[in-house]
A and B are shown apart, each in its own frame.
Chain A
């Protein structure tokens, strides 16, 4: 297919695959890659404005590395040159691997080493250059920037309705620069009142609706922390807003406020002017702390996990080492929090407000996971794209800051694997409900790979406002253009839908697994021994074929009964039953 981007073309085969507008910047022969699994490999290395490409031809099978420069978090020279003039370079990657190369220092000291060129193109932002996404000009049959239309999504949820309206108060991002332009708020609250509320919520991130239950009208509302401070400041408009949110749901006279943080941290935030809703001020609301730790704890946990899984695994203490990273424990707490939210909305028919400190890290983790549990639409491929566009991108998860696109400052304390954790949680759910998700594991891995690749514009910038200002949709390609133009790669053959099912995953540690096929995929011994990707495609083809056959037969049967309808009354004219893959 002409539009198929060969981003992950097998590097062992053929020549350097170049994308439109991709150009080789430098190459070097006689570079040694110190592979932790098979030992030193000599070959040639090329650096383009998009990727690093290493290829070794004098071994069987041919060995190659092909990675987007976006995954690099650090490039550094290790030690001084040896007597033979060899210099060692270490490359730390965002996708759970480290690479090491040895290269002869050029004798001509004026010539730059290929690694100096690499450093320049790996961190374009630090070097005042633009990211490759702004140069890449591939055309796809579908335009992924059109996937998400906020008004259409709210309409799907039945909004606006008699209790909720779509406010234009943030049309020019004046109320809150990290929120989207379209906000859903209770009809009883005026825009003027919303402005007052914005001064009381951290970064102006006021409580607005994320999702509404189609039957009970219980709502999932997201916000940032109230600026209560040490003196217990109150805001009557904020109190009125929360009361209005509760009143919009006739089924319940109570509401729950889920504060994602551990209560100690929430209390400590009062010192910095923040805090949480007091019982006095919000009398019908019950406050629950979900004990999820902050971005720094999560970053540290992933660092430990990388230590445990890369490059070598200590077999005899694998489980206890894994336990000591606390990674699965954090995953558990996030899933458990989302489960409580979904349960309150579904079973308790109660509206909920979710916030953490700023409402752009733990909050989207919780709301988007709860939404996946509650609404089967978000478990389809397009629905999931909408969910990401809405809960993460439009509501200002700070992707630029958390990932550090093109930025060489690898120790930046604002970096954190928040989005990775969310995708991990989704993966855990796909394990527990193998037939409930339209997408497969490869879809999730593809999203994570392009979170770092900087090939597409989707995960660039920190907010909707910034993306508009930089004209990201105009100058870059959306990841969804790429994905939706080859959907068959990403479809789960076991998918059967369950349109009205709410998923309540089990969140005990004993039900969670380490996502080996993501975190340990670089270790050849941990790779799936037998890829099922091809088999999935075969099953999909088989299903389509059988589905067609069923329809044919049914048409035939219908024709037959029509022609001989007088003979038998109870002939088989049942409605079309879809062929369901058996789980």
Chain B
């Protein structure tokens, strides 16, 4: 076998090795060490890699990661142990370690727990590689995330151009970063009383809104500019989607100025009413009041992880169902689905427009507005439209992916798996309607995992403006000539060829899918999802 060739880490073209240790043992079995692998532990600026000494070359299907690789962004906690001295330390960045580690435990965001033993490794190199992993998994600045290096280098290499870092140009997924995508959506849903608004170009009005969004025709730019200051973070209400009855789904942040509240609310409501063909009322759905908050969701995930991977198997097996119940994760999934059903009922049966009201309009609204559209609109259940939906309601609407993923590990209070919860809700729908979605469970899983591969524009930023600013700063600091581009062209996660071959991507296709002509999920009667599902999600 080509032993020496294999023994090197497979690097991306802009990836560099930071530190490595040899004769490391990767623990496989929990009880015995007979299946453990010997090899080299490598820390790069992108991933923690383990190159097994005598493993045969396996045809690895992932284009960015090998079988034993963990992207640094996926590392949640780095724990070093010295079992002789009985010491243990959780490592952050720039820290010192007073003992030589005999073991390194990596707790990963995707529920993996990976253990390396250093019994035969040199004590110094073991210590160094641990410190390097800890340091590099805590980047001090977003621009130290690997995505910047990855994309920045692309401007100097023809390779990437050929390989297609092409932000959506060749993709069929609408990114909603230009007014034409919004125009098409308005036309598709027949929302003739709504228009694309461009007052936020250059992000001069609101820092967290996209440059283009949709508002009622009856509201002039001048009015909007005036109202903007009353809203939290100047977030003018955003149109999401129109039901075929003409009812609109709108999302809005709280009005921060109490004196203006009534007046502004009234103006907005009447404008939305005017845009309704039946001049129907507007129903306000207060999400903060009815749904768990982001801390609740995070706490539920931590409990879920506890029973899934941390508690001993025998213990959790015995009380599996009741522990699952007490984690409240499933309960939250149900709450979100039920709330979405209520909104669907207002739109579909009561023919009224609905405003989703959330303090910042950047978390719970994303989940509910997507679910409502998935339930009502068969168009959204095709793969590309689903991706467009996420683009529209999450990425462009300014879901704080950077903070919620806690890529910088700076503020644990802001960390929350809102997007994962959404994927779980979709998975539940998928299970109830196995032929209604073009994509598969594999697709949903891979999409969830991609949050921890810090290369894609989709999950790296808190809002479009932040993306623009960081990429401009990065380009100027690295003297990258952007040319015609306004910003660095990060690939969106929707460019699946970055990660998988075309053959592997066929696993995203649901053989049972019957196409967009399928009946509306609601089909005239509102079906309630209030009943418990039997499946568990993890």
- Chain A residues within 8 Å of B, Cβ to Cβ: 313, 315-320, 322-323, 328, 493-494, 508-510, 513-514, 516, 523, 525-526, 528-530, 532, 535, 539, 581-583
Contact = CB atoms under 8 A, between A and B. Distances in A.
A510 B434 CA distance: 21
Contacts of B527: 525, 529
Given A313-B531, A509-B320, A581 B511 contact: yes
Interface of B: 313, 316-317, 319-322, 324-325, 330-331, 334, 432-436, 506, 509, 511-512, 514, 521, 527-528, 530-532, 534-536, 538
Contact of B512 (A319, A323, A509, A532): A532
B321 A530 contact: no
B509 A582 contact: yes
B319 A323 contact: yes
B61 to A, nearest CB: 16
Residue in A315, A328, A510 with the greatest tally of chain B CB atoms within 10 Å: A510
Contacts of A529: 432-433, 521, 527
Contacts of B432: 528-530
A508 B319 CA distance: 12
Residue in B321, B322, B330, B530 with the greatest tally of chain A CB atoms within 10 Å: B321
Contacts of B511: 493-494, 539, 581-583
A320 B317 contact: no
Contact of A530 (B433, B528, B534, B535): B433
Nearest to B316: A510
Which 7 pairs, one residue from A and one from B, show the smallest C-beta to C-beta distance?
A319-B325, A318-B532, A323-B321, A320-B322, A319-B321, A509-B320, A514-B534
Contacts of A510: 316-317, 320, 536, 538
Given A320-B321, A526-B531, 9 more contacts: A315-B532, A319-B322, A322-B321, A528-B432, A530-B436, A532-B434, A581-B511, A582-B506, A582-B511
20 contacts: A313-B532, A317-B325, A318-B532, A319-B321, A319-B532, A322-B321, A323-B319, A323-B321, A493-B511, A509-B321, A510-B538, A513-B534, A525-B530, A529-B432, A529-B433, A529-B527, A530-B434, A532-B512, A535-B512, A583-B511
B534 to A, nearest CB: 4
Contacts of B334: 315
A535 B532 contact: no
A27 B316 CA distance: 55
A532 B532 CA distance: 21
Contact of A315 (B514, B530, B535): B530
Contacts of A539: 511-512
Nearest to B331: A316
A313 B534 CA distance: 12
A320 B435 CA distance: 30
Nearest to B307: A510
Contacts of A318: 325, 532
B316 to A, nearest CB: 8
Given A532-B512, A582-B506, A525 B319 contact: no
A535 B509 CA distance: 15
A316 B512 CA distance: 32
B325 A320 contact: yes
Nearest to A312: B531
B154 to A, nearest CB: 34
Nearest to B320: A509
A315 B317 contact: no
Contacts of B512: 532, 535, 539
Contacts of A322: 321
A175 B324 CA distance: 52
Contacts of A323: 319-322
Nearest to A314: B532
Nearest to A431: B535
Contacts of A317: 325
A510 B534 CA distance: 11
A468 to B, nearest CB: 42
B358 to A, nearest CB: 25
Residue in A323, A328, A532, A583 with the greatest tally of chain B CB atoms within 10 Å: A323
B503 to A, nearest CB: 11
Residue in B313, B511, B530 with the greatest tally of chain A CB atoms within 10 Å: B511
A442 to B, nearest CB: 14
Nearest to A508: B317
Given A323-B322, A525-B528, A535-B435, A509 B317 contact: yes
Contacts of A493: 511
Contacts of A516: 534
A391 B313 CA distance: 34
Contacts of B319: 323
B393 to A, nearest CB: 23
A96 to B, nearest CB: 14
A526 B530 CA distance: 10
A532 B511 CA distance: 11
A319 B433 contact: no
A582 B509 CA distance: 9
Contacts of A528: 432
A525 B320 CA distance: 25
B435 A530 contact: yes
Nearest to A315: B532
Residue in A319, A508, A539 with the greatest tally of chain B CB atoms within 10 Å: A319
Contacts of A509: 317, 320-321
A463 B451 CA distance: 60
A330 to B, nearest CB: 14
A509 B317 CA distance: 6
A43 B380 CA distance: 43
A319 B322 CA distance: 6
B430 to A, nearest CB: 11
B375 to A, nearest CB: 11
Given A528-B432, A529-B432, A535 B325 contact: no
Contacts of A328: 321
B324 A319 contact: yes
Contacts of A316: 331
A313 B334 CA distance: 14
B322 A513 contact: no
Contacts of B528: 525
B307 to A, nearest CB: 9
A509 B321 CA distance: 8
Nearest to B433: A530
A225 B325 CA distance: 41
B484 to A, nearest CB: 41
B11 to A, nearest CB: 33
Contacts of B535: 513
A510 B315 CA distance: 12
A525 B527 CA distance: 8
Contacts of B317: 508-510
A526 B512 CA distance: 20
A535 B518 CA distance: 12
